[in-house]
Amino acid sequence: MRKVWMIIIPIVLSYILIFQWGLNERDPKNIITDVSRLMPTKIDKIVKGSQEKGIVNALSKAREENLRVSIAGKRHSQGGHTYYPDGMVLDMTGFNVVLDVDPSGKTVHVQSGATWDDIQKAINPYGLSVKVMQSQNIFTIGGSLSVNAHGRDIRNGSLIETVNWFRLLKPDGEIIIVSRSENEELFPLVIGGYGLFGVILDVELQLTSDELLTLETEELDVEDYEDYFSQTVLKDEKVRMHLARLSTAPDTFLKDMYVTNYRVSEDQEKYNDYNTLKKDEFTGLTKFSLGLSRNFDWGKNLFWDMQKSFFVKSDGNLETRNNVMRSESKFLEYKGENDTDILQEYFVPVDEYEEYIDDLREYLVDENINLMNITVRYVNQSQEAVLSYAKEDMFALVLLINQGLGEEERKQTGETIRGMIDITIEHGGSYYLPYYQYPTHEQLHQAYPKAEQFFQNKRQLDPDERFVSIFYEVYGK
């Protein structure tokens, strides 16, 4: 009987894998995808880098075999940015050592496969905090640099502003230091460069002091938010971080908001009572509520009311900066049998916000899209990166969308998303590039006027096109 099960179990597992990927591949080990599961792709091999010498040797081997190379971390980019058909994928997640923390200089030196969680654990004992990162701490440093991430901090904008230097493994195998004064032409290309110029090996980041913050939450109407933010939030230097959510519930669709400000607390002497790093809480409840939101309009109304009530009741709570930057992440893990969750992110000038939301609401009323959540953040003007999304002070709207995995569902979602991007561009805005390739070439170049310069630089600095991705194949050629 045991022998029978030893035969049956591998067969069953193989069918499960094939069903999950949606491809009838004989060797599923060579199929790779990202968190969206929209682009399963057959590659040649995955090489897991844990030592610098091994990473260098892997690139040398790729040159010998004329393999294209892509670089992957947690693979939360959703548009084929981390792999390429029949290419080599460098998995950097094992290259993850925090090399040094300098408390006096307020810097951290870290390998690119480390996560923000790794950094937070290393710097929290020194009373230090990251300046800029995403709202979740699960991403790798190299991945965050490659998308030039931003987050809740309204005093420090894009991640590029907090980078002192990094080491880069170039396509020809040479390792160089890149900073604003050394090999400076590469600095604004690699950060926000989606892994197309080489392998970021390690980086020195600026840190700031951790501090105790008071949460202040209140409800607003959409038409009040623009003035509220400019007058009440941005002008108050004691407000360090800010987050808003915009209703996607049918009863209050794109009309209601609630905002949370993180203000420097007057009770800093209580810091030691709160500086233990927190773990995810209420994950099961959040996942359950989000599941109802995927499937039912009443679920969206319920989820919105629960979210708003929870944060309003948190008004006055104390939390350290590090813990504010340790938001729940496990509730985002969703693998539906026939559907998936994707992200979109649109940047719109602060003074266009009210009119923009009105136009977006009018457009989406007649569109069949399962929009579950919109988070609003602020990012100040930052044009240092060639592919900068913040041409001026912007509100960033992060949209969580549920869609089917089939071709017809992708087509329908794509049409709606292209319409939203058109509205965003009409209001002087842009969109974020790490997501599925729904935007047109024209939209990319409208949102990123330096895109052609970026791709020309790519071809000049990597003439053999050693580092590629599906994203580059679609938009860079």
Instruction: Yes or no: say if 249 and 300 are a contact pair by the CB < 8 Å rule.
Output: yes
For residue 312, is pLDDT > 90?
no
Range with the largest mean pLDDT of 28-42, 323-337, 433-447: 433-447
Apex 177 CA angle, 174 and 180, nearest 5: 140
Lowest mean pLDDT among 271-285, 321-335, 447-461: 321-335
Phi, psi of 198 (to 5 degrees): 145, -175
pTM over 0.75: yes
Coil, strand, or helix at residue 249?
coil
Helix (H) or strand (E) holding 72: strand 69-72
Question: Does residue 222 surpass a pLDDT of 80?
Answer: yes
**Amino acid type, 88:** M
The pLDDT of residue 282 is: 58
Which residue ranges make up each domain of the chain?
212-439
Q: Residue range 344-370: average pLDDT?
A: 96
Q: Give the pLDDT of residue 293.
A: 80
Alpha carbon 246 to chain centroid distance? 19
Return d(Cα 433, Cα 373) in angstroms, integer: 19
Using an 8 Å Cβ cutoff, are 265 and 321 in contact? no
Strand 88-91 to 69-72 pairing = parallel
120 vs 9, higher pLDDT: 120
- Reported as a pLDDT band with limits 50, 70 and 90, residue 25 is very low
Q: How many helices (H) and strands (E) does the chain have?
A: 14, 19
Q: What is the 3-state secondary structure (H, E, C) of 296-358?
A: CHHHHHHHHHHHHHHHHHCCCCEEEHHHHCCCCCHHHCCCCCCEEEEEEEEEEEHHHHHHHHH
pLDDT score at 279: 80
The residue-averaged pLDDT of 216-231 equals: 95
**Which CATH number describes the domain made up of 212-439?**
3.30.70.2520
pLDDT(304) > 50: yes
- The mean predicted confidence, pLDDT, of the chain is 90
Q: What are 73-122's pLDDT values in tens digits?
A: 889 888 899 999 999 999 999 999 999 999 999 999 999 999 999 999 99
Query: Between vectors from CA 19 to CA 17 and to CA 20, what angle results, nearest 5°?
Result: 65
- Name the nearest CA neighbour of 208 among 76, 57, 324: 324
Residues 383 and 391: beta-carbon distance below 8 Å: yes
8 Å CB contact between 168 and 190: yes
- 339 in Cβ contact with 115 (< 8 Å): no
What would the mean pLDDT of 255-279 be, rounded to a whole number? 94
Residue percentage of the chain with pLDDT more than 70: 91
Using 50, 70 and 90 to split pLDDT, how confident is the model at 17? very low
Kindly tell me if the per-residue pLDDT of 12 is higher than 60: no
Q: What is the DSSP string of 126-193?
A: GTEEESS--SSS-SBHHHHHHHT---SBSSS-SGGGGEEEEEEE-TTS-EEEEESSSSGGGHHHHTTS
φ, ψ of residue 180 to 5 degrees: the values are -80, -10
Mean per-residue pLDDT, 363-384 = 94
Distance (Å, whole) CA 364 – CA 380: 27
Confidence grade of residue 19 (pLDDT, cut at 50, 70, 90): very low
pLDDT digits (tens, 9 = 90+) for 412-461: 999 999 999 999 999 999 999 999 999 999 999 999 999 999 999 999 99
pLDDT of residue 9 exceeding 50, the answer is no
Q: What are φ and ψ of residue 207, in 5° steps? A: -120, 175
Contacts of 435 (CB under 8 A, 6+ apart): 77, 78, 79, 342, 343, 344, 345
pLDDT of 331 reads 53
pLDDT digits (tens, 9 = 90+) for 121-157: 999 999 999 999 988 898 999 999 999 999 999 999 8
CA distance linking residue 414 with residue 256, whole number of Å: 26
For residue 4, is pLDDT > 60?
A: no
Tokens of 447: 């949102």
Using the Cα atoms of residue 148, residue 280, residue 39 and residue 447 in order, give the sign of their dihedral.
negative
| pLDDT of the residue at 283 | 62
Residue 328 has pLDDT above 80, yes or no: no
- Decide which of 22 and 399 is more confident: 399
From residue 85, alpha-carbon distances to 42, 365, 433, 471 in Å are 6, 38, 20, 12
Alpha helices in 26-152 (DSSP H): 52-64, 116-123, 141-147
Q: Is the pLDDT of residue 252 over 80?
A: yes
